[in-house]
Structure 1
Amino acid sequence: MRVLLLGADGFIGRRVADRLLADQDLAVTVLGRRDSADIRFDLTAGSPGALARFLDAAAPQVVINCAGVTYGTSRALIKANTLAVATVCEAIRRSREPARLVHVGSAAEYGPMPAGVPIPETAEPRPVGPYGVSKLAGTELVITSGLDAAVLRVFDVVGPGAPTASLFGRLAEGLRRALEHHERVVRMPDLSGFRDFVDVRDVARAIQAAAVSAATGVINVGSGHAVRARDAAQLLVRASGFEGTISEDARQVLVPSQVVTDLHRGVEQPPRVIEPRAVVEPVQWRQADVRTARDRLGWRTQVPLEESLGDVWLETACRV
């Protein structure tokens, strides 16, 4: 099977690329902005017609779109998460043999949901910030495109390779600095919310499964379990051996950080800590209903959260 991968340099995209390239039954072509890509193309600036010509040349049977950004101005988010998706959909429609499309969405599209209840794909999305709105618009473009398409609505991704802008990337760096400088306190934003953490390697397996399946529509990808962020943080603290204190500032909230790829030339933006009145995504509860992924993709998570965070620390500790 011929596969065209978009966003191969991002947190999720790198793991997807690793899986696809290891599969001898797949012929993988990477499209992106970097010199390492097989096809150089900027999704935020290129036209659908130009992309359609590349599609005709590569003749993929499946296009996997892991491209997108989490941080930036509303304009940048819309360009990367909405307009770029419109370009992909229109290019596939114009190509001689339209490919199947697997698009990576985000749980931020749902917005606030009732606590204690798993979120099904049928839940009415009500995103509350520019990121969630831009991702939902991209999802709607895919679902209404008339293409053979699936959107994997990915929950809170963790694991090795986590960007330093992410919650656990930030915590791991803080722990490393504290251990190096013999500090007793690591400061973090509020960790009282519940999240559905899923390892990036499990996400990559789900994307590969969707690529070779006939499943269409929106499919949640998460662990199916909600964990308080504070409890998850303690798993990382124990892995590090840090014996000091994690100090939470209830006045500060870390903007969610599911970094998908690097449409801004691979430069991670630092985590933004902001006042509650300006919170981009004030969501206290997030837990995926994963029955659709189980039934239609034959997919379940394999990597426990403790192992995932242990790998985050191992990678951070080895960083020079």
Structure 2
Amino acid sequence: MTTRTAPDRGPGRTGGSVVVLGGTGFLGRHVCAAFAAAGADVVPFSRTARPALDNCGPARPDPLAPDTGALARLCADADIVVNAAGAVWGGTEQEMIEANTHLVDRLTRALATLPARPRLVQLGSAYEYGPTEPGAVTGEDHPPAPTTPYGRTKLAGTRAVLRAAAEQDIDAVVLRVSVACGPGAPPNSLPGIVAAHLAEGRGELRLAPLLAHRDLVDVRDVADAVVAAARAPAGQVTGTVVNIGSGRAVPVCTLVDLMISLSGRPLRIVEERTARGTRSDAPWQRLDVARARRVLGWAPRRSLEESLADFMAAAGVPPARSRPTGQPKPPGHQAGARRTDGRADGEPGQGKDGQ
């Protein structure tokens, strides 16, 4: 059985074909757009009828049925396969097991049957690491120990990919992505909730305590990293995990304050005491992205302010008009009673259609 060699790979070569599972999800749509801009023939797959982004064509039905043969057929002519599908915070634990673990296992088994194997770029999650100490910078050699169903099922998917690379000669790389933000962020994410209140001119928003620190990276930078991973020499990336993030830990209250400031609209944030379920086990998150710089030639380019401004414009929140000198800024974050079991702490919040 033969495999394609690294020089043949990537969207830059003539006739390059890219299959994107979860191609209409938050990350998947931008991945499709980035490959299309690079000249690739992009084929998105999705479980919803939502369109992909520019130049990607309509999404085809997503192959979540337990049929490795169907997966092999749809990947047979691809040069690159990107798995951006998955169930996130909106899914049940069983949905997470199916989408984040079982699908990945079927996909790697399907690729192993192909005589000419595409490169697989698997989108993992920084939540695979589990809790880390405040102030820590987490590199790829950090032992993963997630305590949530999402983190555990994503880690199981990562391990399936690494196992296939080691035992079945699959050319595959895992990008362990931090919290993505930017245009198209889901409405049930923290930025989505804040933007909805700003767009509708509501004066007050009650949230769980904004205590967490998150490594926030623009979704378009993530898509650029996927393209870079598709193009990288096999010897540098096959069978590896690569962190993709900003390399900075941002307090989520800063994210909220920045959105309010960019809008120029008054919004009082009240951190309430009511108990809610915790979605994350990671109060602190900051990734070491040195490996991405070294092996992919990639670094984040967009600032958090640019990312949020573009997101808010896409969400229908007009930017603030320039204020005369000396005019006070609108009221922003105003802490109320604080507690530690918060929900709205900067999670991506995507549903089960993809990341």
TM-score for both structures, normalised by structure 2: 0.77
For 1:50, the equivalent position in structure 2 comes to: 70
Corresponding residue to 1:113 among 114, 127, 132: 132
Paired with 1:186 and 1:87, the residues of 2 have a C-alpha distance of 43
Q: Contact 1:110/1:124 (CA < 8 Å) preserved in 2?
A: yes
- Alignment CA distance shift 1:111-1:190 (3 Å): same
SS in 2 for 1:295: helix
Alignment CA distance shift 1:234-1:38 (3 Å): closer
Q: Distance in 2 between matches of 1:61 and 1:39?
A: 18
Partner of 1:3: 18
Pairing 1:95-110 to 2, within 5 Å after superposition = 95-110=114-129
Percent of aligned pairs with the same amino acid: 39
Match of 2:176 in 1: 153
Corresponding residue for residue 33 of structure 2 = 18
Match of 2:156 among 126, 137, 142: 137
Cα 1:99–1:50, aligned 2, differ >3 Å: closer, same or farther?
same
CA shift, 1:197, in A, is 0.4
Q: Does residue 1:285 correspond to 2:284, yes or no? A: yes
- What's the counterpart of residue 127 of structure 1? 146
Question: Who is 1:32 aligned against?
Answer: 46
User: Contact 1:43–1:80 (CA<8 Å) still a contact in 2?
Assistant: no
User: After superposition, where does 1:1-320 map in structure 2 within 5 Å?
Assistant: 1-24=16-39, 26-34=40-48, 40-56=60-76, 59-70=77-88, 71-146=90-165, 147-177=170-200, 179=201, 183-214=202-233, 215-216=237-238, 217-252=240-275, 274-275=276-277, 279-317=278-316
Deviations 1:86-116 (A, max 9, x none): 1111110112212111000011111100110
The answer to whether the 8 Å contact 1:44/1:83 transfers is no
Q: Distance in 2 between matches of 1:175 and 1:103?
A: 35
The DSSP-based 3-state class of the residue aligned with 1:5 is strand
User: What displacement does 1:284 show?
Assistant: 1.1
Deviation for aligned residue 1:5: 1.5
Residue 158 of structure 2 aligns to a residue whose secondary structure is: helix
- CA distance in structure 2 between the aligned counterparts of 1:32 and 1:311, rounded to whole angstroms: 25
Aligned to 1:260: none
The higher radius of gyration belongs to 2
- Matched position secondary structure for 1:246: strand
Q: For the residues of structure 2 that align with 1:42 and 1:30, how far apart are their CA atoms? A: 9
Q: Is the 8 A contact 2:198 2:317 kept in 1?
A: no
Could you tell me how far 1:250 is from its partner in structure 2?
Answer: 4.8
Shift of 1:20: 0.9
Q: Is the Cα–Cα contact under 8 Å of residues 130 and 280 in structure 1 kept in the other structure?
A: no
Query: Any gaps of 5 or more consecutive residues in structure 2?
Result: 1-15, 52-56, 319-355
Partners of 1:307 and 1:143 in 2: how far apart?
35
The answer to which of 290-299 and 2-11 deviates more is 2-11
- Is the 1:119–1:287 contact (alpha carbons within 8 Å) kept by the matching residues of 2? yes
The one-letter code sitting in structure 2 at the alignment partner of 1:311 is D
Q: Report what 1:269 is aligned to.
A: none
SS at 1:186 equivalent: strand
**1:126-181 deviations in whole A, cap 9, x for unaligned?**
1111111111111110011121111000001100100001111111112223x1xx
Separation in 1, partners of 2:125, 2:141: 15
> RMSD over aligned Cα, in angstroms?
1.8
CA positional deviation for 1:40 = 3.9
Q: Secondary structure at the match of 2:176?
A: strand
Cα 1:250–1:297 shift into 2, 3 Å: farther
Partner of 2:336: none
Question: Given the superposition, is the C-alpha separation of residues 251 and 91 from structure 1 closer, same or farther in structure 2, using an over 3 Å criterion?
Answer: same
CA distance in 2, matches of 1:223, 1:87: 31
Paired residue secondary structure (2:144): coil
**Count of aligned residue pairs for this structure pair:** 288
Q: Which residue of 2 aligns with 1:267?
A: none
Q: Structure 1 counterpart of 2:313, which letter?
A: L
